[in-house]
């Protein structure tokens, strides 16, 4: 069977909307593989920051992206032999990732890597353009969002839990700026994919969001 015959659930949405948590849990429940596409941009950003690669050098950044040696194992993210699970969640890395994600050559460099995650028995992929660009024929497309305030609160808690310092006002400002970059970029802007289910999680728990996605997928399989 070709890779294109295996089901894909694409979950897109803005930063800190909870899509990573939901996608990871859905993948676990279904026994599917999981792709955190945002982590690939964060890994590229971390590599650039560690190597001192200028963010204006698009060619060098795309070379870093195409040469990533990374793996996902449970909650662990490895870059070569280095466990960078927490390092890529730092705000500096996230902001850098958002900036380089607007570069066409970087997006192209990571395109094939993202496709390679589609394996049996299926894949749950989360990001900004999973349903619109990377997996346009996905079995189920979900656009998961939440209010900026709810997202800032979640990000604050996530950073504090991981031992990072955080300021709510700064986080909210960063979210607005990141949303503007992601929505207005020329290549693969953040927007709901055609046919996507919209899911606002502002007043929902992660468990409730997971159950909703699983319900949509179960309904699809009936037809």
Q: How far is CA 28 from CA 25, 31, 114, in A?
A: 5, 5, 19
In this prediction, residue 91 has a pLDDT band, given cuts at 50, 70 and 90, of: confident
User: Torsion over CA of 4, 118, 208 and 149, rounded to 10 degrees?
Assistant: -110
How high is the pLDDT of residue 65?
Answer: 96
Sheet holding 8-12, edge to edge: 33-36, 123-127, 8-12, 140-145, 197-200
| H or E stretch at 208 | helix 206-222
pLDDT value at residue 72: 82
- The structural domains of the chain, with segments of one domain joined by +, span 3-222
Q: Indicate whether 196 pLDDT > 90.
A: yes
The confidence band for 75, taking pLDDT boundaries of 50, 70 and 90, is confident
Return the closest-CA partner of residue 18 out of 218, 222, 204.
204
Question: Mapping DSSP to helix (H, G, I), strand (E, B) and coil, where does residue 135 land?
Answer: coil
- Do residues 27 and 33 make contact, with C-beta atoms less than 8 angstroms apart? yes
pTM > 0.85: yes or no: yes
Region 45-54 average pLDDT: 96
Which CATH class, in words, describes the domain spanning 3-222? alpha beta
Q: What is the pLDDT of residue 134?
A: 96
Q: What is the pLDDT of residues 176-193, one digit of tens each?
A: 998 998 888 888 888 999
């Amino acid at each position: 069977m070709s890779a294109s015959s295996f089901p894909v659930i694409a979950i897109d949405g803005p930063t800190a909307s909870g899509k990573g948590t939901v996608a990871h849990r859905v993948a676990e429940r279904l026994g599917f593989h999981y792709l955190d596409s945002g982590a690939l941009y964060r890994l590229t950003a971390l590599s650039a920051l560690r190597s001192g690669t200028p963010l204006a050098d698009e060619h060098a950044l795309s070379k870093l992206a195409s040469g990533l040696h990374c793996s996902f194992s449970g909650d662990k993210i490895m870059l070569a032999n280095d466990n960078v699970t927490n390092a890529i969640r730092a705000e500096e890395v996230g902001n850098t990732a958002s900036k380089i994600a607007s570069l066409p050559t970087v997006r192209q460099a990571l395109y094939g890597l993202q496709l390679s995650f589609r394996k049996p028995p299926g894949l749950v992929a989360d990001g900004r353009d999973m349903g619109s660009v990377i997996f346009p024929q996905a079995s189920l497309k979900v656009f998961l969002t939440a209010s900026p305030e709810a997202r800032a609160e979640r990000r604050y808690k996530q950073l504090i839990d991981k031992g990072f310092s955080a300021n709510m006002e700064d986080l909210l400002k960063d979210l607005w700026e990141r949303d503007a970059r992601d929505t207005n970029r020329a290549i693969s802007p953040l927007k709901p994919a055609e046919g996507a289910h919209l899911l606002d999680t502002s007043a929902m728990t992660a468990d409730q969001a997971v159950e909703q996605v699983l319900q949509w997928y179960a309904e699809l399989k009936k037809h």
